[in-house]
Amino acid sequence: MKEIVFIRHAESQANRDGYWNGRTDGPLSDQGRDTLQHLGRRLSGWHFDRVVSSPLERARATAESFAASIEIDESFIEIDLGVWEGRSLEEIRAEDGQELQEAIANREIPMGRTGESLDQAGRRALDAVDRLAESMEVDQKVVVVTHGGFLQAVLHRHLPGPGRRAHAFTLNTGITRVVYQFGRPRLASFNDVGHLGPESPLVREHLGQGSPVLALIRHGRTQANVERRWQGHEDWGLDEVGRKQAEALGEWYGRLRTVYASPLKRARSTASHVARNGVVEVDELKEIHMGRWEGLTFDEIAEGWPGVMETIYRDGVDLKRGEIGESWGELTSRFATAVSRLATDDEEQTAVVAHGGAIRSFVSSLTMTKDTYAESLSTPENTSVTHIALTDRGPEILDYSVAPHLEGLELEAD
């Protein structure tokens, strides 16, 4: 499996001052340099084969803070903003507000009259990513240090917005991982700033504005996960590693006042580690019902139901799993309806502890992807956290599958 780890550069002085820098070069801010210590400590435990950076100073300085050798590649440079380079958003709106709206609405219009259009920048970004992926060998991991605007194009492939952006803008030093499975890129994590603490600045911002924030948490590992069995509604408990994962989650993330969970043991046990006042079980938060496939491995299912598996996973027809189970669409509808009925906390995150397929289906439902069963997303890691802000404009995906607490456990296991 190939993996590309995208990192947005640390805060630049232009970010701090509120200016659109685009391709204008400039240094990191003092705050940006401070965050590099946290990023470096976290990445010191990671293995990667190459580090590629945009040529701009803010990206190079970020890459050089954790890598002894870096490759400079112009392909990963920020979008060209034309005459809007070096100006604040307020200035641009005041002087060229109509042009800005048109350039965003009609993605073929150049930004700042002489810059790139959003579609041009998007094609350039995806071409660069695809070329890099093709050059990689199987099982290689490459880090790319780049920019927020560049990452917008990458994310649009996985989290396309329904007439607006479905996800938050990538934070400085935010980590976004794309893995290549089954012949296609899949988003494994997004906007992970766990190295800066358990509460993302975006979570604090939205709660401060009065927008509730959901913390979607996948249960800890089970023996079925190890054996790659499709659990569905089967009631597997956590294995030893799963219990350690749940404990580590509680120590890192802390305990919340409002915690909902699927009634299945693997979810309830995980929820107990983040609950301050007990856990409210909600039956509709269960994993997809796999019918006669429950407890079987992929190979066992493929051998017993080859035609059905091809119809679902090759042809994209959303059939009921295991003949008498649920379709992916039925799971998505059930889970989304259940989440919409939950009473949320106004002052802190509301935890929803559930399952990998259910969480993946819900996140995908907030986008305009045409995936039959959310193929553009990878299943979130065990005990990872995904934050969704419930804003006046609709749900906004703040991050996806954030789990820094697992990294120490993985090192220990090695």
Answer yes or no: do 165 and 276 share one domain: no
pLDDT (0 to 100) of residue 202:
98
Regarding whether 207 and 188 lie in a shared domain, the answer is no
How remote is the C-alpha of 400 from its chain's centroid? 3
Q: What share of the chain is helix, strand, coil (3-state, %, to 5)?
A: 40, 20, 40
pLDDT of residue 413: 42
The answer to whether the CB of 216 falls within 8 A of the CB of 336 is no
**Do 13 and 43 have their domain in common?**
yes
Q: Are 159 and 401 in contact (CB under 8 A)?
A: no
pLDDT of residue 162: 80
> How many Cα neighbours within 13 Å face the side chain of 161?
18
Domain edge (last residue) among 162, 194, 226: 194
**Does residue 226 share a domain with residue 159?**
no
Domain count across the chain: 2
Do 96 and 130 sit in the same domain of this protein? yes
Other C-beta atoms within 10 Å of 136: how many?
Answer: 17
CA distance 163 to 294: 38
Per DSSP bridges, beta strands 2-8 and 175-181 are antiparallel
pLDDT of residue 412: 52
Query: What is the pLDDT, as a whole number, of residue 411?
Result: 44
The reply to whether 296 and 352 lie within a common domain is yes
Give the H/E segment covering residue 52.
strand 50-53
Separation between Cα atoms, residue 406 and residue 200, nearest integer Å: 17
pLDDT digits (tens), the chain, 414 positions: 899 999 999 999 999 999 999 999 999 999 999 999 999 999 998 999 999 999 999 999 999 999 999 999 999 999 999 999 999 999 999 999 999 999 988 889 999 999 999 999 999 999 999 999 999 999 999 999 999 999 998 999 999 998 788 999 999 999 999 999 888 999 999 999 999 999 999 999 999 999 999 999 999 999 999 999 999 999 999 999 999 999 999 999 999 999 999 999 999 999 999 999 999 999 999 999 999 999 999 999 999 999 999 999 889 999 999 999 999 999 999 999 999 999 999 999 999 999 999 999 999 999 999 888 999 999 999 999 999 999 999 999 999 999 999 998 854 543
Residue 7, domain extent: 2-194
Q: Assess whether 190 and 205 both reside in one domain.
A: no
255 with 167, same domain? no
Host H or E run for residue 185? strand 184-192
- 126 with 222, same domain: the answer is no
CATH code of residue 359: 3.40.50.1240
Instruction: Find residue 390's DSSP bridge partners.
Output: 395
Q: Say yes or no: 258 and 328 in one domain.
A: yes
> What letter represents residue 39's amino acid?
L
- Is 48 in the same domain as 67? yes
Secondary structure letter of residue 227 according to DSSP: T
> Which of 173, 194, 215 delimits the end of a domain?
194
- For 232, the token pair is 């569905």
Among candidate residues 361, 405, 94, 368, the one with its CA nearest the CA of residue 249: 405
Looking at the structure, tell me whether residues 249 and 332 fall in a common domain: yes
| Token pair of 191 as six digits | 């906007």
Q: Which of 194, 226, 251 is the last residue of a domain?
A: 194
Pull the structure tokens for residue 142. 């490459």
